[in-house]
Structure formats: structure tokens, C-alpha cells
Amino acid sequence: MRRAALLLCVFLLAPAAAQAQKYDLFAGYSFARFEQLGGDENTNGWEASLAYKFTPYVAVVGEVTGNYDTLFQKSMNAHNYHFGGQIMLPARYSPFVHVMFGGMRVSIPGVAHTAFSTEWGGGLDIRVNHYFSVRAIEADVVTGTAKSLTSEDGHITAGIVFHF
């Protein structure tokens, strides 16, 4: 009887444990290089993203970044908001690639610029345990277009991924 009760508990709880890891929450440091007409600008900031895994290999991702620096002796803020798909290989060393679409907003005091943007790239997560991984690197190209001007900017990120 005890053996049957134990087996029943294992079969009932196993799907819950498998479903428990449907979300990945990332938070980390962000470095972005913006190509400007007056010269290139290196910025520092943050990135946060939330991924919902349909399968262990396919996810939908929402991402927000903020990068800050001074441009022409004025403070500059750059924020990106993207949403898209991600493909990953679940393993201890887990590479991934993604393509996302959204918007970007760059502002300095008195001037703001908003544009449609795309982001594509990939990276490598290293699993530490069942609950979190270290994102060793994520490298992306962010392309924004407005008023017939197009910019392609590099973006590198590293941080921690929480699995739940």
C-alpha cells in the first residue's frame, strides 16, 4: 500500500516539477555602442528579460534595456523594448539565438527620438543549478530606423538567469 501511494505521488508530482521551469527571468549589465554622425558612443546600463518556454527548445521573450552616458556634454538615455522568439539548446552550457521586434527611444535634455527597431543575436547560459544560470555573454545587433536614417548598434550583456 505504501509503495502504491509513493508511486502515485511520484507520478502526480513529476509533471508539476517539469512545468515548474517554464519561465526564465534575466537581469544583468548591458554595454551598448551607438553609431552617431558626430562619432561613436559607448554606454553602460542594464537589461531585464522574461522568457516563456513552450518547449525546452522554443520560447517567447520580452526584453527591456536601458543604457546611459553623456553625448555632447549632455546626459543621454537610450531604452529598447523588444518582443520575439528564441531558440535554445537545453544543457549545462546552453547556447541560444533570438530575433525580436520593438522600439527604441534615445533622449538628451530637450530632444527625444523614438523609432521602430529590431534585435537579433544570441548568447550562452551556463547552468549553475536547477534554479539559476549565469549568462556568460549575449551579443546582439540592434537596428533602428526613423526619418530615412538607419543605425546598427552593438549590444553586449552578461548577468544571472533565474529559472522558475
- Average pLDDT of the residues in 6-30: 66
36 falls in which pLDDT band (50, 70, 90)?
low
Third-level CATH fold of 22-163: Porin (2.40.160)
Cβ contact 113:134 at 8 Å: no
With DSSP H G I counted as helix, E B as strand and the rest as coil, what are the percentages for the chain, rounded to 5? 10, 75, 15
pLDDT of residue 101: 97
pLDDT at 148: 54
Higher-pLDDT residue of 10 and 92 is 92
Q: With the C-alpha atoms ordered 81, 83, 136, 143, is the resulting torsion angle positive or negative? A: negative
- Of 79-93, 109-123, 135-149, minimum mean pLDDT range: 135-149
For the chain, give every domain's residue range: 22-163
Our CA angle for 11, 14, 19, nearest 5°, is 140
Q: How far is CA 58 from the centre of its chain?
A: 14
Average pLDDT (10-19) is 46
Q: Is the pLDDT of residue 7 over 60?
A: no
Q: How far is CA 25 from the centre of its chain?
A: 9
Distance (Å, rounded) from C-alpha 87 to C-alpha 159? 19
pLDDT score for 51: 98
For 20-108, where are the alpha helices, taking DSSP H only?
none
Q: Of the given ranges (7-16, 56-65, 153-162), which has the lowest mean pLDDT? A: 7-16
Predicted TM-score (pTM) of this structure? 0.83
**Residues 75-87: tens digit of each pLDDT:** 889 999 999 999 9
Q: What is the pLDDT of residue 3?
A: 61
* pLDDT-based confidence at residue 146 (cuts at 50, 70, 90): low
Q: Tell me: pLDDT of 107 over 70.
A: yes
Mean pLDDT of 16-22: 59
Q: What is residue 35's predicted lDDT score, i.e. its pLDDT? A: 75
CA 52-47-121 angle, 5° bins = 70
